[in-house]
Structures are given as C-alpha cells and as structure tokens.
Chain A
Amino acid sequence: MGATASHLGKDLLSEYQELTFLTKQEILLAHKRFTELLSREDKNLPDPRAPTEAILTLPELKSNPFRERIVRVFSTSESRDGLTFEDFLDLLSAFSDSATLEIKSHYAFRIFDFDDDGTLDENDLEKLVNCLTGETDETRLTPDEMKQLISNILEESDIDKDGTVNLSEFQHVISRSPDFVSSFKIVL
C-alpha cells in the first residue's frame, strides 16, 4: 500500500485527500491515532487491522451508544471485526464536518439497521431507542410509551405505509431534520 506504520507517503496522502472529506492534518492525526491502537506485532504488517476492542477504547467512540454498530458497518473484513486504516479513514470521512448529507444519512441508515436487512422495522427502532436511553431497566421507556413512540416515528417517516422505513424514506426525513448534520459528527 506504500505506507509503513510510521509514515504516510506523500502521494498516498494526496490520494486520501481526494478520496475522503478529510484535510491533510486530519489524515495525519488519524494515522497517528490509528498506529497507537495497533499492537507491536501488527505494526509491521503491510495492511494492519486494528481489533474492535482497541478501536472501542478511542475516547470519541467510547461513549457512543452505537460504537459496535459503527465498527461493524465500516469494517471490510469477512467477519466484520476490526478496521484497517482505510476503513478508519472512511469512518472519519463520513463523520467529518464537510461530508455531504447523503453520505451521512446513508451510513446512519446502515448503522441503525441492526439486523442488516435493508429496512428499519419496529425491532430496529426499538433497539435504537433503547441504545439511546440506556440499557438498564430504569432507563427504558415503558412498553406503552415505546409503542406510542414507534408509531409516531413511523407516522412521520413511513411514506408508503408498509410499516418499515427504507433508505430513501430515511433520507427524506433526515433532510428535514435540522439537528442531524451537527450531531452526526466526530472530530478527532
């Protein structure tokens, strides 16, 4: 790939700049933080893959309730475990300030789709709300409230009334959501 663990080649850097939304400083900082996550043996591999547990120790991801989903979505390995540096750059690019709304909403949809079936159905939405409010029993909504909430969400976003939210319905509702761009942002 042309990159050793300690140094990024210049043309590789400019290639990354073109292929992602990150600036040069951000790519270099990402490289630094990524190599810190690797174990000693992995550092000498040509294309090292940081394990999921190491990535989840990053402070930016540690407090995020969707951290495992995020790593799964951006991982390119067969078992969806661990990120290479390019996966990590893809992650940061999608979460960066200058990413387009479409990229962000596309990846947000994939992150929220817990069962990976391409639509957000009621189970996905329920898991989503529970992630947001907390995992313990006191911090959950009552079943009635959950049902009310999910029916409200589906009423707002399900255009064809089939009980699920697909990608374009999701993107439609996100385009009208004013908070999305500012909240879907991770800056190292």
Chain B
Amino acid sequence: MDNDSVFYSARTGPTNPLLDQLPSYQSLLYRRKPANGGSKRRSSSRTRMGSSGSGRWGGATVALREEKTPPLQRPVRELPRTMAEKRRDREQRLEQDRELSSWRQRRRSLHRSLKRLRADLQERLSSLVLWRGDIHLIEGMFGTGILSYFSFLRFLVLLNLVIFLLMFSFVMLPIIIAPHAGGNVTFNQADGSVCSVYPTSARRGLVIFHEHITDLLSGGGFLEQTYLFYGYYKVHAISFPGFTYNLPLAYLLVTVAYLCLSLVWIVQRSATGFKRNLIQDEDRFQSFCNKIFAGWDCCITNEDAARLKRSSLLYELKTDLEEERIKQKIADRSRKERCRIYTIRLILNVFVIAVLAACFYSIYRATIFSQKAQMEKVNFMRDLIYEYLPSIVITLANFITPLLFSVIINFEDYSPAFEIRFTLMRCVFMRLTSIGVLLFSLWSQITQCKEGPCLCGYNHQLYSCWETRVGQEMYKLTVFDFIIIAAVTIFVEFPRKLMVNYCGCGLMRWWGQQEFAIPQNVLEIVYGQTICWIGTFYCPLLPAICTIKYFFIFYIKKVSLVNNCRPATRPFRASSSNFFFLVVLLIGLALASLPVMVGVGQINCSQACGPFVNYTVSWEVLPRTVSLLPNKALRDLLFALASEAVAVSLFVITCVGMFYVIALAGAHKRVINQLREQLVMEGRDKRFLIQKLCQAQRMTPARPPVPPGGPQPLARAGRDGSAGSRSSWGSPSYHTSFSTNHSDAMFLANAPPHGSTHV
C-alpha cells in the first residue's frame, strides 16, 4: 500500500531540526509535558509503523526528550512504553539526579521511600477489605453490573456498623461503664402524674416456650425493657468525677450525627458519578462510545458468562439502535396521535395514583387494626399474624405493584429507556412511601384520644411509652423483611431452578431460570436501610441488627446468584448502577429524616419512659442546654444561628451561588461548541492546503526539491492530537487526521493516495 511506502521512506529520512521550531510542536512540548511527555506522542507514532523496541525513532525520541527535560516529571510507570524503555528512562533520571545538589538528591530519595511506604500500606489495607475473594469470584462470573450490587451491599454493612458504633459509644457505653468508673447515674423521677404510669409488660408466672418466640419476633415481653428500645434509657445524667454527662443531649446529638454522617458518606461516594452524569451533554440514554469502547468487562473469566455477555451486548446494541429509530418516529408523530397518546397517559397515571391510594389506605387500616388487636391476646398464631399485619400488607403491596406498573407502562408508549426509568421511579416511590404511611397511621393512633385533646399530648392509656411502640414496629418490619428475603430464596428460587432443570415442559421453559433483577434487589435493601434510619432513634440496637441482617443477605444472595440465576438480558451498566443506587439511597435518607424530625420536634415525648421525661418535646433539650451555658457570648451566638434571619440569608446565598454556577456551565458549553466548529474548520483548511500543494507539485515535477521546511515536516506527521496552528505556506503543521502521509516531493509527484481525507 502507498501508506507503507511512505512510512519506509520516512524511517530512513534524516531527522529534521527545523521540525522542532514549528510553533505547534513547541506548544505541544510545553503544554503536554506536565500531562504526558512528548515522548508519548513519539511512541504512538512508532507503533503506527508497526515496529517495536527501540528503532531509529526510539533513539531519536530519547535524544529529543533529553534536550527538554522539565523540572516536573511524571513517574516512569505512567509512560506507555515497554519495560526496557522504562528502565532506561529511570536510569537516565537517576543519573540526572546525581548531577543535582546533594540536598535535592536527599529530598528525591526521601520522596521515593515515602511513596514506597505508602504503596505498602495501601496494599496491606486493601487485603483487609471485606469479602474481597467473594466479590472477585462474582465479578469473574457475572461482570461489573451485578458486582456493583454486591459492593453496594458491602457499603451498607459498613455504614450500619459505623452508625451502631456511634450510638453505642455515646449512649450505651457511658451507662455500662458508669458503675466501674465511679460515675453516679441519676434516673428520671416519676412525678406521680397519670402520664408517667408505665405498666410493665413482662410476663409473669409460667411462661410457655412459644411466648418467648412471640416476644423475640415482636420485640415485646422480655425484650421491651432492655437496651433494645428507647424506653429503657431513663437516665437523666451521669456524674463522673470531673464532669457530668448529659445523656438526653447525647442521645439527640447522636441521632442528628448519624443522619448527617450518612448523608456526607453517600454524597462523597456518589460524587464521581454525579460529575459524570451531569457533564455528559448528550441527550442519549447511554453513549454508544461508552458501550463499544468500554463494553467488554475484561474481568470475566467464565466461558458461559462470556457468551452471555456477548449476547447481552448484542441485545443492548440492537435495542439502542432501535430506540434511535423510535425517537425519530416519535418526533414525526401527527397532532391527532399525540392527543390520543396524552389522553391514554393521563388515564393510566390516574389509574396508577388510584392503585397507590388503595395500597396506602389498606396499609393504614391494617396498622390500626393491628394496634387494636394487640390489646387482646387470643392465641399464638393469630397474635403473631395480627402483630405482623402491617408488614404483610406492605410486602404484598410491594410485590403486586411492580408487576402492575410494568404492564401499564407498555401502553404508555414511551421510549424504552424512559420506560425503565419511569417504572423504577414508581416502584421506589411505592416502597419508600409505604413506610411513611405506616408511621403516619401509627402517629394518628398515638395522638388521638377518645375525649378531645389528649391530657399528656399523646394517648397515655393505650401508649404509655409510644416511642418503644414505634421502635417495636420498626423492629418487626426489619425482622419480617429478612424472613421474607430468606424465604423467597429458599422456597421460590431453588424449586424454580430444580423445576426448570428437570422438567422440560413448555411452561417451565417459558418461565425460564431466575434472572437476577438488580433494581428490585436494590430496592429491597434500600427499603431495609430506610427502616433502619427511622428506627435507630427508637430502637438504638437496630443498626447492629441490620448489620447482621445484611451480612447474611450477602451470603444468601451470593449462593442464590451462583446457583440459580442467569444474568439479565438487558445489562445494567456498572456506572449508571452506582449512580442509581446512591440516588435511591439518598431518596430513602430524605424520606427517613422526615419522620425522625417530626418525632423529635413535634410530638410530645412520653413522660413514663426514656431520657426526655423532663422535656415536652425531645428537641427541647438543645435550647435548654444552650441557655444553661456559662458563656453569654456563645449563648447569644448559638441562639442567633438558630433564628430565621440566618436561615433566610443562607438560603438566598445558596440560590445565588447556584445561579452563578449554572450560568458558568452554560457559558462553557457555548465555548466548547465554538471550539469544536473551529477544529472542524482547521481540519478542512489543512486538507485544502494539502490538495493545493499536491496540485502545485504535480504541475511542476522538475522543480528543485522544496526547502526542508516544506513538505518534509509532513513525513513526520505524528499521530498526536495537536490541532496545529495555521503556519505559513510551505510548512503546514501536521495533523493526526491524515491516514495518508505525504513525505517529500518525490511522492507528491505521484497521485496522492486515496484516503478518507480526500474528497
């Protein structure tokens, strides 16, 4: 091919010192050196010629680079060169270092040993990461999409563990070590009023075994007056020698702290995902380049998984291409069709809202019925069912509604990508709001008294310690959730696999093997985490229970995945998965903080139990502590911070900042578009100039060879991405777009090789 002959001639041509004086090459050196060495550019041009190892180019590039070594160098391992070349670079740098002063030398060697120490430390820390081997196995079998689910699960285990440690060390630990450390615990005194009567719920007399099980599953009976629930912490203060430990304040502050900590940790984890998803300025669902260039998970080691990955990639590409065509079709819709579609969508959305309202109402009624039924105990089985009635109704609703939504969405005629997102959003909303409805119905029961406004601010006859009750409901939800996950895996997925494998009838083949549906699984665990966040204020040991629960869920899901499941036909990409998980988790956190804030700030705390007996509302402990501070200036400052003036001004400043950043982003986008157009024009200009040059050469073949500053630079056209400045005629700068190369005048005398650059 003509291309190859061009390369050969270029290889044997002498290196051109004038080439270094080209403005574009100069700017390349100084601009690119901190980012990547100029040698990198050379090495890529070398690979183009198909040679390896150090040829003439290798020597030439090293010589070039030596003239312009900048003070700041990249580490050798970041250069994309072979090991032998990297070794030579390193030795060169060491030699250069020897020429430096001894102080600089010492500093450099200190640098190096510090880096080595840090690498060793990181290596040791990474070996301590939980479940590394298991996750590596899953990655090899299923790819990075499902892997993201499991690393999300691992993140939740860690988060719950940290929340538990926070709660434990600030609330439980002082109480436990008080007798050993010489602390004096003062309990809340009952003031004798009718509000502070707390009938004990411990069972008396002979306790039948199954009652223990009922207690364990419902959090009542022997579990009620333990560290598990809020009601046990009747401590007012602990006076250690030297200082007094204000337990109610600590309890409140730890609640606020764990919510803030969760927020910060989640946002920090999703920061990279946010940046990418916000910066991508295309209106496609997923970039094709991302799918093609980053499409293959190189970590897959299993043949079957590789085959499935190929077919899922094919499916994904075909669907996305079809979606492009559908978008075109949507844009071409006539007005009549559009009206029809909008009316259908309106009707279906109203239907969805009606279904949601029906579910919420049934949860409300179930909760009220369950609360009333807990007053009279009849027999073991019925009691248990009545206790768990809200959980059962919530689980049923969350099982039926996704199926309904996925059927409805087919009639709404959205693009496939939007369909998936919209169904998911509906399911998320359903799952997380059902907890809110449960809590709302509980609270309506608690604050409703038979005759008019309540005496103590809450219904003290039915709920002498309502926080413990709420804690018990959250405990029951958690336990039931775990039982359901385990039961579905054991009693539905395993038999399904057995039936599909051993019974070849048509129905089984149609049903097929279980697919590991990532969105539904993620919603399950986010649901559990939301319950944990709400319930930790009322049940301080709940984070520990959730840690253990997620720990076991990891193994259950892993076993189920490896044995029962096949990967989903429509792959869930790792990047968008991470982003999606953390967004759903944030929504859960927001929805969880709402009930906690209402419970802390609005509803009167019970007078019979808990640390806040001496206050009307739990939040009151904070203003009262601030007013008791000795320092008047600090007191005034804290009160001023809590006033409306500060809140409003903060809000206004945030809005102004946001508008500024949005305007900046818009301006950047415009500049980017202009630069793109300019690049296209530059490319066209270059091609035009080359054509003219070729024509000129063709017209006068007997002309003496063009001065070295002329076409010869074209021989060295490297494959770097410099846009190239428009230098004067005779020395056009090189541009990587040329797949053809023109060397010196001899070749230009012939017809230029055809390539994509020629029209």
B279 touches which of A14, A76, A161, A176 (Cβ 8 Å):
A176
Whether A178 sits at the interface, judged by CB under 8 Å, is: yes
Whether B287 sits at the interface, judged by CB under 8 Å, is: yes
Are B298 and A141 in touch, CB under 8 angstroms?
no
- CB within 8 Å for A118 and B321 given contacts A179-B290, A179-B573: no
Q: Is the interface of B mostly helix, strand, loop or mixed?
A: helix
What total count of A-B pairs have CB within 8 Å?
225
Nearest CB of A to B585, in Å: 18
Report how far A63 CA is from B144 CA in the complex, Å: 15
**8 Å CB contacts to B: which residues of A107-124?**
107-108, 110, 112, 116-119, 121
A residues in contact with B282, CB < 8 Å = 156
B residues in contact with A148, CB < 8 Å = 321, 324
Report how far A148 CA is from B279 CA in the complex, Å: 25
Are A132 and B295 in touch, CB under 8 angstroms?
yes
A167 touches which of B317, B720, B723 (Cβ 8 Å):
B720
A residues in contact with B78, CB < 8 Å = 100, 102-103
Give the interface segment out of B301-309, B346-354, B372-380, B536-544.
Answer: B301-309
Whether A169 sits at the interface, judged by CB under 8 Å, is: yes
Report how far A33 CA is from B288 CA in the complex, Å: 36
Report how far A186 CA is from B90 CA in the complex, Å: 26
Whether B123 sits at the interface, judged by CB under 8 Å, is: yes
Are B298 and A106 in touch, CB under 8 angstroms?
no
B82 touches which of A65, A86, A116 (Cβ 8 Å):
A86
How many residues from B make CB contacts under 8 Å with A? 81
Flag B690-732 by CB within 8 Å of A: 1 or 0 each.
Answer: 0000000000000000000000000000011101000000000
Whether B513 sits at the interface, judged by CB under 8 Å, is: no
Nearest CB of B to A10, in Å: 13
Who on chain A is nearest to B47 by CB? A110
**8 Å CB contacts to B: which residues of A132-188?**
132-134, 139, 141, 145, 148-149, 152-153, 156-157, 159-164, 166-171, 173-174, 176-180, 182-187
- CB within 8 Å for A19 and B87 given contacts A161-B683, A179-B574: yes
Are B757 and A162 in touch, CB under 8 angstroms?
yes
Report how far A31 CA is from B309 CA in the complex, Å: 30
Flag A68-84 by CB within 8 Å of B: 1 or 0 each.
Answer: 00000001111010000
Whether B97 sits at the interface, judged by CB under 8 Å, is: no
Are B318 and A167 in touch, CB under 8 angstroms?
no
Are B293 and A106 in touch, CB under 8 angstroms?
no
Nearest CB of A to B441, in Å: 42
B residues in contact with A179, CB < 8 Å = 144, 290, 294-295, 573-575
Whether A64 sits at the interface, judged by CB under 8 Å, is: yes
B residues in contact with A145, CB < 8 Å = 317-318, 321
Flag B77-98 by CB within 8 Å of A: 1 or 0 each.
Answer: 1101011101100100000000
Whether B343 sits at the interface, judged by CB under 8 Å, is: no
Whether B181 sits at the interface, judged by CB under 8 Å, is: no
Are A156 and B682 in touch, CB under 8 angstroms?
no
Are B314 and A63 in touch, CB under 8 angstroms?
no
Nearest CB of A to B374, in Å: 49
Whether B16 sits at the interface, judged by CB under 8 Å, is: no
Whether B76 sits at the interface, judged by CB under 8 Å, is: yes
Who on chain A is nearest to B736 by CB? A166
- CB within 8 Å for A167 and B721 given contacts A19-B76, A118-B47, A133-B310: yes
Whether A52 sits at the interface, judged by CB under 8 Å, is: no
Whether B401 sits at the interface, judged by CB under 8 Å, is: no
Whether B653 sits at the interface, judged by CB under 8 Å, is: no
B residues in contact with A180, CB < 8 Å = 290, 293-294
Are B290 and A177 in touch, CB under 8 angstroms?
yes
How many residues from A make CB contacts under 8 Å with B? 82
Who on chain B is nearest to A73 by CB? B47
Are B757 and A102 in touch, CB under 8 angstroms?
no
Whether B299 sits at the interface, judged by CB under 8 Å, is: yes
Are A65 and B736 in touch, CB under 8 angstroms?
no
Nearest CB of B to A71, in Å: 13
Are B82 and A66 in touch, CB under 8 angstroms?
no
Are B298 and A64 in touch, CB under 8 angstroms?
yes
Are B737 and A164 in touch, CB under 8 angstroms?
yes
Whether B410 sits at the interface, judged by CB under 8 Å, is: no
Are B48 and A183 in touch, CB under 8 angstroms?
no
Are A183 and B294 in touch, CB under 8 angstroms?
yes
Report how far A171 CA is from B293 CA in the complex, Å: 11
Are A160 and B682 in touch, CB under 8 angstroms?
yes
A residues in contact with B48, CB < 8 Å = 116-118
Are B287 and A156 in touch, CB under 8 angstroms?
yes
B residues in contact with A161, CB < 8 Å = 680, 683
A residues in contact with B299, CB < 8 Å = 60, 183, 185-187
Nearest CB of A to B57, in Å: 13
Report how far A112 CA is from B292 CA in the complex, Å: 10
Report how far A39 CA is from B415 CA in the complex, Å: 56
Nearest CB of A to B1, in Å: 9
Who on chain A is nearest to B79 by CB? A103
Who on chain A is nearest to B574 by CB? A182
Whether B654 sits at the interface, judged by CB under 8 Å, is: no
**8 Å CB contacts to A: which residues of B119-164?**
119-120, 123, 136, 144
- CB within 8 Å for A76 and B737 given contacts A95-B298, A178-B273: no
Whether B311 sits at the interface, judged by CB under 8 Å, is: yes
Whether A23 sits at the interface, judged by CB under 8 Å, is: yes
Report how far A145 CA is from B298 CA in the complex, Å: 25
Are B679 and A186 in touch, CB under 8 angstroms?
no
Are B288 and A134 in touch, CB under 8 angstroms?
no
Flag B252-289 by CB within 8 Å of A: 1 or 0 each.
Answer: 00000000000000000000010011011010000111
Nearest CB of B to A141, in Å: 7
Are B680 and A106 in touch, CB under 8 angstroms?
no
Whether A17 sits at the interface, judged by CB under 8 Å, is: yes
Are A153 and B77 in touch, CB under 8 angstroms?
no
Could you tell me which B residues sit within 8 Å of A by CB distance? Answer: 3, 35-36, 40, 44-45, 47-48, 50, 52-53, 76-78, 80, 82-84, 86-87, 90, 112, 116, 119-120, 123, 136, 144, 273, 276-277, 279-280, 282, 287-290, 292-303, 305-306, 310-311, 313-314, 317-318, 321, 324, 573-576, 676, 679-680, 682-683, 687, 719-721, 723, 735-739, 756-757
30 A-B residue pairings within 8 Å (CB atoms): A14-B116, A18-B90, A19-B83, A19-B86, A60-B299, A62-B301, A63-B306, A64-B298, A65-B296, A77-B52, A93-B77, A94-B80, A116-B48, A118-B44, A119-B739, A132-B292, A132-B313, A133-B317, A148-B321, A153-B289, A157-B289, A159-B679, A166-B737, A167-B736, A177-B287, A178-B277, A178-B290, A178-B576, A183-B294, A183-B297
Given contacts A63-B306, A160-B680, A167-B44, 15 further A-B contacts (CB under 8 A): A60-B301, A62-B303, A65-B306, A129-B317, A153-B292, A160-B723, A163-B756, A168-B721, A171-B721, A179-B294, A179-B573, A179-B574, A180-B290, A183-B144, A183-B574
7 closest residue pairs by CB, A with B: A168-B721, A178-B575, A118-B48, A63-B306, A86-B83, A162-B737, A160-B683
